[in-house]
């Protein structure tokens, strides 16, 4: 029988039994850990601390650690395997600022602050020492509203059409207080002055208790998009002097998570244009520089998250997360090294690129195999409809980018950097995003940045309010569908070239 | 002689609008729907023959490919452009009355929704099947449907929605249309729709693809 070992993950407190030799990357990815540089051992973003047991290092791993200034007991998850029982501390959230390749400048301040990222699915909060910039404690959780629908449209539906708005507001505020209270325990003597919260427009409105009716239908314009302040008492927190601020949204479906993302990328100070793309269901896109910033949301749909794909699934154990061709044979990477059960977004992009190369998909997107299926394993395959879903999703993003860049009057060549945010973004193969026509930029310009909402919110803790106001003043929201050429551009970008 | 109608059918199906059009690459430099229609009329085919034996047929073929997943939005749009190029030559005959259209269909994306590509594809298919299409565009309130119905008595109404939050607006509009005249046929479509929902709001027909809607319409006049 195959040998198994136990891996305990801190601070999650999770225990997992895995076969000997399992890459740590596979285990950690399924727990939401991100690999900012794409597992190239370059950024240190996936660093882990070995609390108990042994994780061996080879020469290249040792060299990578030295380069990052890390010594025992630190390891890089992207270079490690399970060879015995271990207890690991996931360093990601503690070290994200440092791990990020963009220098994070901050003016030291007295006291503490909390950065809170409220996602549609997940929640992350960090307690930050404002003197040292160090993250003192992290809390993560699942958004309790998720039981009323996975995406923002179903939350709006529940709030507006089924009268569930108050319930959704209550749920998220309760969870917020709970997570915040745990962080507050760490700094009893000096409660943080400020808690900054970021989230998409729907999360913003539900947390703040604003009516979502305007977001249910065109023109999707809300008059309650501004920042929203609470006292600790209002949210059931014991810290008297703490002010809680939900950051303002940018317009329509572009929320304060993207505002924070703009801050994280340094777009508003850059002379050359910078692009920020969030590859989620709403596919937010921002193009701008220090003069002018344009943003939009695209109806990319959930294909990148594995939904609406016949055998699609989230990036968890059993999902094909990448596909490549080695010596003419298709090879799959399966999370957890188990038998493949389905395919997640990153695997889908790879698979489409591979089948395009093989000629099993023509440039119009038609599947040309005899049974109209594209097999990755005997059990897992893509259908014609899956290819169509991918075409819609990739074209939504590509068309959005094209329209915003045209409006800015810039070409892809003039763009300094393209930042990809979101957990999914960090795992994709950049060459293949180009191959399928999702991101038409040279690979070296694209930077996977992970959770830009959290990073930007954390950076905002050190900034004066003017910095946020400056971004708001520079930013214009565009409705892509009202561009008269939208339909033609959208159709053109569906084709593979 | 029949050969030119076959060529026109292929030009429409493959989306070759005119001779100068670069699409599709394998028909570069060949006559498109524009030239072929002019030629067919010139050598003596009636406008009705050109419409029925070439344009309707070509659109039907691309519609079938679309339903089966063999063709997608770009191919449909190109075919529709080719059809439009051909229709320029046929339209004068509609006006003079020598070619009869099957009836009028009023289309609109429902109030609150801006997504109209699906509705546009349907419009092209219906027009290509020989119907007069009155396209009210996106974000269409009841009042617009009402005005169009008053201008085109007996017309069939088609409504689409892409969001679950805007789909609900179909209910009120359908009820008001039926209150105006219970005989008015209402068809609905769009990603979040279903047969159940169609029945629930009192609409007459639902189809997941444009081909189904065209077949339904043709059956109304057969």
Sheet containing strand B132-135, strands side by side: B132-135, B104-109, B156-160, B186-189, B205-206
Distance CA A433, CA A430 (A): 5
Task: pLDDT band for A101, please (50, 70, 90 cuts).
Answer: very low
pLDDT of residue A411: 95
d(CA B108, CA B120): 9
d(C-alpha A199, C-alpha A394), whole Å: 24
Q: Is the pLDDT of residue B101 over 50?
A: yes
Residue B1 has a pLDDT of 60
pLDDT at A30 over 70: no
Residue A245 has pLDDT above 60, yes or no: yes
Around Cβ B41, how many Cβ atoms within 10 Å? 16
Contact at 8 Å (CB) between A428 and A280? no
Measured in degrees and rounded to the nearest 5, phi and psi for residue A189 equal: -70, -40
Look at residue A24 and tell me whether its pLDDT is greater than 90: no
Q: Hunting for tokens 């596909």 — which residue is that? A: A323
pLDDT digits (tens, 9 = 90+) for B1-18: 669 999 999 999 999 999
**pTM for this entry:** 0.83
ipTM of the complex: 0.89
pLDDT score of A397: 96
Distance spanning both ends of chain B, measured CA to CA: 29
- Rounded average pLDDT over A324-341: 87
Nearest to A160 among B69, B73, B165 (CB): B165
A161, A218, A365: residue with CB nearest B113: A218
Tokens of A131: 């003197």
Question: pLDDT digit string (tens) for A431-455?
Answer: 999 999 999 999 999 998 888 999 9
pLDDT class of A100 with cuts at 50, 70, 90 = very low
Q: Is there a contact between B72 and A391 if contact means CB atoms under 8 Å apart?
A: yes
Q: Among A11-25, A88-102, A309-323, B54-68, which is the least confidently predicted range?
A: A88-102
With beta carbons less than 8 A apart as the criterion, state whether A299 and A309 touch. Answer: no
Residue A35 binned pLDDT confidence (cut-offs 50, 70, 90): low
Distance CA A458, CA A137 (A): 13
Interstrand relation of A342-343 and B132-135 (parallel, antiparallel or unpaired): unpaired
Size of interface A-B (CB pairs under 8 A): 67
Does A112-249 match A4-99 at the fold level? no
pLDDT value of position A37: 62
Residue A13 confidence (pLDDT) above 70: no
Asked if the model's pLDDT at residue A259 lies above 90, the reply is yes
Distances (CA, A) of A181 to A178, A192, A235: 5, 11, 11
What is the pLDDT, as a whole number, of residue A34?
A: 63
Domain ranges of chain A: 4-99, 112-249, 265-301+390-492, 308-380
pLDDT at B100 exceeding the cut of 50: yes
Largest separation between any pair of C-alpha atoms in chain B: 54
Distance from CA of A211 to the nearest CA of B (A): 14
pLDDT in tens, B19-56: 999 999 899 999 999 999 999 999 999 999 999 999 99
Strand partners, B117: none
Residues from chain B contacting residue A153 (CB–CB below 8 Å):
163-165
Residue A95 confidence (pLDDT) above 50: no
More confident: A314 or A125: A125
Choosing among B17, B26, B72, B109, which should be mutated to test the A contact, i.e. which has the most A CBs within 10 A?
A: B72
- Selected for mutation to probe chain A from B15, B26, B73 (highest A CB count within 10 Å) is B73
pLDDT of A219 strictly over 70:
yes
Inter-chain touch B69–A388, beta carbons under 8 Å: yes
Answer whether A366 sits within 8 Å of B77, measured CB to CB: no
Report the pLDDT averaged over residues B55-75: 94
Mean pLDDT of chain B: 94
The CA distance from A328 to the nearest CA of chain B, in Å, is 27
**3-class SS of residue B86:** helix
Indicate the class that CATH gives domain A4-99: alpha beta
* Homologous superfamily in CATH for domain A112-249: Domain of unknown function (DUF4445) (3.30.420.480)
Residue B188 is given by DSSP the state: E
pLDDT score at A318: 83
Partnered with residue A332 across adjacent β-strands are A323
Beta bridge partners of residue A293, listed in sequence order? A288, A475
What value does the mean pLDDT of chain A take? 89
d(CA A298, CA A295): 10
Asked if pLDDT for residue A19 goes beyond 50, the answer is yes
Q: Is residue B78 pLDDT above 90, yes or no?
A: yes
Q: Which domains does chain B have, with CATH numbers?
A: 2-96 (1.10.1240.10), 104-221 (3.40.50.280)
Contact A32, A17 (CB under 8 A): no
Q: What is the mean pLDDT of residues B168-178?
A: 97
Q: What are the tens digits of pLDDT across the range B184-197?
A: 999 999 999 999 99
Min mean pLDDT across A110-114, A306-310, A370-374, A422-426 is at: A422-426
> Rounded to a whole number, what is the distance in Å from the CA of A217 to chain B's nearest CA?
4
- Of the residues A491, A492, A493, the best mutation for testing chain B's interface (the one with the most B CB atoms within 10 Å of its CB) is A491
Q: What is the average per-residue pLDDT within A293-299? A: 94
Please tell me which residue, A282 or B57, carries the higher pLDDT value. B57
Q: Return all residues near B72 (Cβ < 8 A) that are at least 6 apart.
A: A364, A365, A366, A388, A391, A494, B66
Cα–Cα distance for residue pair B135/B108, rounded to 1 Å: 6
- pLDDT tens readout for residues A155-176: 999 999 999 999 999 999 999 9
Average pLDDT value for residue range B154-173? 96
Name the token pair of A86: 């271990």
Indicate the fold that domain A265-301+390-492 takes in CATH.
Nucleotidyltransferase; domain 5 (3.30.420)
pLDDT of res. A36 = 59
Q: Nearest CB to B73: which of A154, A372, A491?
A: A491
Distance separating alpha carbons of residues B104 and B135, to the nearest angstrom: 10
SS (H, E, C) chain A: CCCEEEEEEECCCEEEEEECCCEHHHHHHCCCCCCCCCCCCCCCCCEEEEEECCCCCCHHHHHHHHHCCCCCCEEEHHHCECCCCEEEEECHHHHHHHHCCCCCCCCCCCCEEEEEEECCCEEEEEEEECCCCCEEEEEEEECHHHHHCCCHHHHHHHHHHCCCHHHHHHHHHHHHHHHHHHHHHHHCCCCCCEEEEEECHHHHHHHHCCCCHHHHCCCCCCCCCCCEEEECHHHCCCCCCCEEEECCCCECCECHHHHHHHHHHCHHHCCCCEEEEECCCCCEEEEECCCCEEEEECCCCHHHHCCCCCCECCCCCCEEEEEEEECCEEEEEEHHHCCCCEECHHHHHHHHHHHHHHCCECCCCCECCCCCEEECCCCCEEEHHHHHHHHHHHHHHHHHHHHHHHHHCCCHHHCCEEEEECCCHHHCCHHHHHHCCCCCCCHHHEEEEECHHHHHHHHHCCCCHHHHHHHHHHEEECCHHHCCCHHHHHHHCCCCC
Structure-token pair, residue B103 = 């009836």
C-alpha–C-alpha distance, residues A183 and A268, integer Å: 31
**Cβ separation of A156 and B165 shorter than 8 Å?**
yes
Q: Report pLDDT digits (tens) over A377-394.
A: 999 999 999 999 999 999
CA distance B71 to chain A (A): 7
Q: Do A365 and B120 count as a contact with CB atoms less than 8 A apart?
A: no
């Amino acid at each position: 029988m195959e040998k198994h070992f136990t891996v305990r993950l801190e601070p999650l407190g999770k225990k997992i039994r895995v076969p000997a030799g399992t890459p740590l990357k596979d285990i950690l990815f399924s727990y939401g850990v991100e690999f900012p540089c794409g597992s190239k051992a370059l950024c240190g973003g996936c660093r882990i601390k070995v609390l108990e047991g042994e994780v061996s290092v080879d020469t290249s791993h040792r060299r990578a650690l030295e380069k990052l200034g890390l010594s025992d007991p630190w390891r890089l998850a992207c270079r490690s395997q399970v060879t015995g029982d271990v207890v690991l501390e996931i360093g990601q959230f503690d070290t994200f600022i440092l791990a990020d390749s963009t220098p994070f400048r901050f003016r030291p301040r007295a006291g503490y602050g909390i950065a809170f990222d409220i996602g549609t699915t997940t929640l992350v909060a960090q307690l930050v020492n404002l003197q040292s910039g160090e993250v003192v404690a992290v809390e993560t959780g699942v958004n309790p509203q998720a039981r009323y629908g996975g995406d923002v449209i179903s939350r709006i539906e529940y709030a507006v059409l089924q009268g569930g708005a108050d319930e959704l507001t209550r749920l998220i505020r309760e969870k917020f207080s709970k997570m915040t209270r745990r962080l507050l325990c760490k700094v009893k003597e000096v409660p943080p002055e400020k808690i900054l919260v970021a989230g998409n427009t729907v999360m913003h409105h539900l947390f703040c208790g604003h009516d979502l009716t305007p977001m249910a239908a065109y023109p999707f314009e809300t008059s309650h998009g501004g920042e929203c302040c609470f006292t600790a008492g209002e949210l059931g927190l014991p810290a008297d002097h703490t002010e809680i601020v939900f950051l303002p949204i940018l317009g329509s479906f572009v929320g304060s998570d993207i505002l924070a993302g703009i801050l994280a990328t340094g777009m508003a100070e850059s002379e050359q244009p910078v692009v920020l793309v969030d590859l989620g269901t709403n596919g937010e896109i921002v193009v701008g520089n220090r003069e002018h910033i344009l943003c939009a949301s695209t109806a990319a749909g959930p294909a990148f998250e594995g939904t609406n794909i016949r055998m699609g699934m989230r990036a968890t154990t059993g999902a094909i997360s990448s596909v490549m061709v080695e010596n003419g044979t298709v090879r799959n990477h399966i999370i957890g090294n188990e038998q493949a059960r389905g395919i997640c977004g990153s695997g889908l992009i790879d698979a489409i690129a591979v089948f395009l190369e093989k000629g099993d998909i023509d440039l119009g997107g038609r599947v040309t195999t005899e049974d109209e299926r594209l097999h990755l394993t005997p059990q897992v395959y893509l259908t014609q409809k899956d290819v169509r879903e991918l075409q819609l999703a990739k074209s939504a993003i590509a068309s959005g980018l094209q329209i915003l860049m045209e409006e800015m009057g810039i070409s892809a060549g003039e763009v300094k950097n393209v930042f990809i945010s979101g957990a999914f973004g960090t795992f994709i193969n950049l060459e293949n995003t180009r191959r399928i026509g999702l991101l038409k930029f040279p690979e070296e310009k694209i930077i996977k940045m992970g959770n830009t909402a959290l990073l930007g919110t954390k950076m905002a803790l050190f900034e004066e309010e003017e910095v946020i106001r400056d971004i708001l003043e520079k930013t214009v929201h565009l409705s892509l569908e009202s561009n008269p050429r939208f339909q033609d551009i959208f159709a053109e970008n569906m084709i593979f070239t | 002689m029949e050969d030119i109608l076959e060529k026109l059918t292929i030009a429409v199906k493959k989306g070759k609008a005119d001779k100068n059009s670069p699409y599709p690459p394998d028909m570069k430099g060949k006559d498109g729907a524009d030239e072929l229609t002019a030629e067919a009329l010139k050598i003596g085919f009636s406008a009705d023959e050109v419409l029925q034996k070439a344009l309707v047929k070509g659109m039907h073929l691309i519609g079938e490919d679309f339903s089966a997943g063999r063709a997608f939005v770009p191919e449909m749009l190109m075919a529709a452009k080719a059809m439009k190029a051909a229709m320029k030559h046929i339209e004068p005959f509609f006006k003079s009355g020598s070619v009869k259209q099957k009836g009028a269909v009023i289309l609109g994306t429902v109030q609150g929704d801006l997504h109209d590509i699906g509705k546009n594809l349907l419009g092209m298919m219906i027009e290509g099947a020989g119907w007069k299409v009155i396209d009210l565009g996106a974000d269409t309130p009841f009042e617009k449907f009402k005005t169009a119905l008053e201008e085109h008595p007996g017309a069939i109404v088609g409504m689409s929605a892409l969001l679950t939050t805007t789909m609900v607006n179909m209910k009120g509009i359908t009820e008001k249309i039926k209150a105006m005249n219970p005989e008015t046929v209402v068809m609905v479509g769009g990603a979040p729709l279903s047969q159940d929902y169609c029945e629930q709001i009192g609409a007459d027909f639902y189809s997941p693809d444009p081909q189904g809607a065209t077949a339904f319409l043709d059956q109304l006049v057969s």
